[in-house]
Each structure stands twice: as C-alpha cells, then as structure tokens.
Structure 1
C-alpha cells in the first residue's frame, strides 16, 4: 500500500540527512515500512526502510536528537 502523507513529516534518514517524508509504503507484515523522503541538502528522493529513519528533534514536544542521528550527522560531515 502506498500512502501519500497529507502533511509531510520531518525525518532524518541515517547516512543521508534531514528531509521531509512525503509518503510511506507498506508491503505487509513481513517487511519494514518504507519512507519516501526528500532530502533537504541534496533534493534527492530516498526510499528508506523503517530501521534507517528517525524523527527529527522537536523542542515543543520535548524530543531531543537521537544518538543515531548525531552519529549520522558526524558521518555526513566527514
């Protein structure tokens, strides 16, 4: 099932960077969700499996940046 998100979600794709998820693909119970995400820095569209995706930090909700995102950003910075 392909679902276009009514409101894009700000996500971080590990190893790729921050972006906006514009859709999600669900192939069923034997598969990870696939997040269709437009990466901010490059404009690339990546279909990332659920284990490689994290929510971005959100001060209002009290959600900090995850350790995985911090490590990913260090990797991307070189």
Structure 2
C-alpha cells in the first residue's frame, strides 16, 4: 500500500459529488483501483473515490474538453 501526496493537486470531477482538487492517491496494489483523495469545491467534503468514478476536469488551455462517458459498465455492475 502506498499513499502519495500530489503536488500540485489535480482538478478532478468526482461522479455524484462534483468538482474538486485531488491532493493524494492511495494505491492498495494489484487488483485494486487507485483511490483519489479529493476535496470537493462546493461542500469542502473530503471523498476517497475509486479510479472509475473520477474524471479530469475540462481544461481549455490544454485542449481537453469534457470527457465522453466511459464505454464500459459502471464500477460494481456486471456487463451483459
């Protein structure tokens, strides 16, 4: 298991929670998702979100528009 502080923090969008800044990543090793430790902008809450639930925020300067929805089944849902 490793805990990595991000410097600078990374602006993310956490599904169901909103935009925030990820200030750390937890890696539990093989067969586990990375966990993004994120402070949500609107509420100040700290959420630990698994990798499939986070997306990079839009960045016009870098040419990154809103990401398309994931082409796979949501985390925890079996694909048909």
TM-score when normalising by structure 1: 0.84
Q: Does 1:48 align with 2:49?
A: yes
**Cross-structure match for 1:13:** 14
Q: How does 1:33-44 map to 2 (within 5 A)?
A: 33-44=34-45
Of Structure 1 and Structure 2, the greater helix share is in 1
- CA distance in 2 between counterparts of 1:11 and 1:30 reads 23
**Cross-structure match for 2:73:** none
**Cross-structure match for 1:62:** 63
- Cα deviation, residue 66, structure 1: 2.0
Cα root mean square deviation, aligned? 0.8
**SS in structure 2 of the partner of residue 8 of structure 1:** strand
CA deviations over 1:2-59 (Å, ceiling 9, x no partner) = 0011100000000000000000000001100000000000000000000000000000
**Cross-structure match for 2:29:** 28
Gaps of 5+ in 1: 69-78
Gaps of 5+ in 2: 70-80
- Cα deviation, residue 65, structure 1: 1.1
**Cross-structure match for 1:71:** none
